Amino acid sequence: MDIIGKSHVGFSRLGGGSKKFKTFNPQTNSDNPWEFIEASKEETSRAVEMAWQAFKVYRNIAGVKRADFLNAIADEIEKIDNLVETYCLESGLPEGRAKGEMGRTIFQLRSFANLLQNDAWKRISIDEAQPERTPIPKSDLRQSLLPLGPVAVFGASNFPLAYSTAGGDTASALASGCPVVVKSHPMHAGTGELIADAVVRAAKATGMPEGVFSNLNSSGIDVGTWLVQHPNIKAVGFTGSIRGGRALFDLAAQRDEPIPVFAEMGSINPVILSASALGKNAMKWADTYAKSITLGTGQFCTNPGLIIAVDSPSLDLFAKELAEQILTIDPMCMLHPNIKNAYSDHKSAVTSQEGVSVLSSISEVQTNYADQAVAKVNGEVFLTNTKLHQEVFGPFSLLVACENEAQLIEVIEKLEGQLTGTIITEEDSLEEVKPILEALQHRVGRVIFNGVPTGVEVCPSMNHGGPYPASTDSRFTAVGTNSIYRWLRLVSYQDFPQELLPNELK
């Protein structure tokens, strides 16, 4: 399928903007052949206005009809013959990763379609009137959920499919009854265009209103700024850096009508190694975490960037094995030179701090490839230097050797909010980690037992979020069918006649 480089504004393809850009192949260190035109302010405004008009129709379309739309999107994605090739050219990621992410994207769409087959997701509540109650009669009260309105979705750099054009934010918003305007990520605009074509074909085939979906090309911050400031955008979905997410959060708060920004931003995902685990299986866990740290070149929001334990000879053994195993894994290409440069800068900012020692690091790599590394610091230095608490996006992890368990718990309590926290221990030593769990669960959104944080299952029980800055609202998840609740609000109807009530409340 052809890539023409124009934005999708409703069902039309527009390219009236003055800025042009290309995507980049980090494997060949060269531009890809396609040229993209950044959406103009007028085209951005038109996309939002169309979404607002579509919302008046789309919010009243039955859930089963919206399910047909989501399933049709999945069907159309499966038909794109050059999707995997384009994904790989724009990301530097291997074909297996592309196919896996495509499968996840399709699964997410179909999961929300299944959710819409009945009204259980609306969390309906009915309290019938009690006119005879004394001393005050009770009114009839019925409660359901209504969609917020058009949602601006920002594509993620590290997931061109599952967190981007038709990824989890878009799928959940469309399921809720909210039209979507996507700010396509400039690193994979071609992949985004192919997916946007599929969404538009599905919308037409299932009779959805024009404006239910738009996809805007963007090489900078202008299009995103215009979207968030537009009065008819009612919520924002974002996956990316703390700096970017916080900028959008602040921008939304400054509007005459502030709107929610559901941003998943930064996390170092602490891993706690207990004394029993180190004593019995230090080598095993070192091998396991060498693979987890380098998986996908460390370009996951759940990458284990911090490993914490009480100092001991067993920890020394773990550190030695981890350092050796890191060097046996072949370096891999990062998504873009900008991401590689940021990785190098942030890694240097950590390893150059006083008291930090580098245990191992790949010395020479190909252009745009990541030089994975592991460093170590003691608990006292870590507690007093917050520069060591920041995310290094890439295959890097910092080992914190604490003086005792009290200091280890203090380290946990001083961390910023995280997406995940992991506890590694032995099954016969569960009592020793109870105080650790008590501290850890208040700093993270998901706690893992004897595993790795990399890998996010898409299911109703998954929570992908956490205290700030892991996300801007720790009450919601960005993954799984419960992510639909970001785009909905409660409405109660008091003493209403049956004929005026929503069908599910009659």
Catalytic residues: 264, 301
408 half-sphere exposure, CB direction, 13 A CA radius: 26
Q: CA-to-CA distance for 368 and 333, rounded, in angstroms?
A: 6
Query: What's the DSSP call for residue 166?
Result: T
**CB count in 10 Å sphere of residue 312:** 15
Contact 415, 388 (CB under 8 A): no
What does the angle CA 424 – CA 425 – CA 431 come to, to the nearest 5 degrees?
Answer: 125
- Tell me the residue type at 55: F
Q: Using DSSP, how many helices (H) and how many strands (E) does the chain show?
A: 14, 21
Query: What's the DSSP call for residue 333?
Result: B
Query: What's the DSSP call for residue 502?
Result: -
- Tell me the residue type at 114: N
Q: CA-to-CA distance for 176 and 155, rounded, in angstroms?
A: 19
Contact 372, 362 (CB under 8 A): yes
DSSP secondary structure, 365-433, as one string: --TTB---EEEEEEHHHHHH-GGGGS---SSEEEEEEESSHHHHHHHHHHSPPEEEEEEE--GGGGGGG
Burial class (CB in 10 A: 0-12, 13-18, 19+), 110: middle
Residue 149 main-chain phi, psi, to 5 deg: 135, -170
Contacts of 444 by beta carbon, 8 Å cutoff, 6+ apart:
270, 417, 418, 419, 420, 421, 466, 467, 470
160 half-sphere exposure, CB direction, 13 A CA radius: 31
Contact 400, 377 (CB under 8 A): yes
Contacts of 19 by beta carbon, 8 Å cutoff, 6+ apart:
37, 38, 219, 220
Q: CA-to-CA distance for 164 and 185, rounded, in angstroms?
A: 8
* Nearest residue to 107 via CA among 456, 419, 368: 456
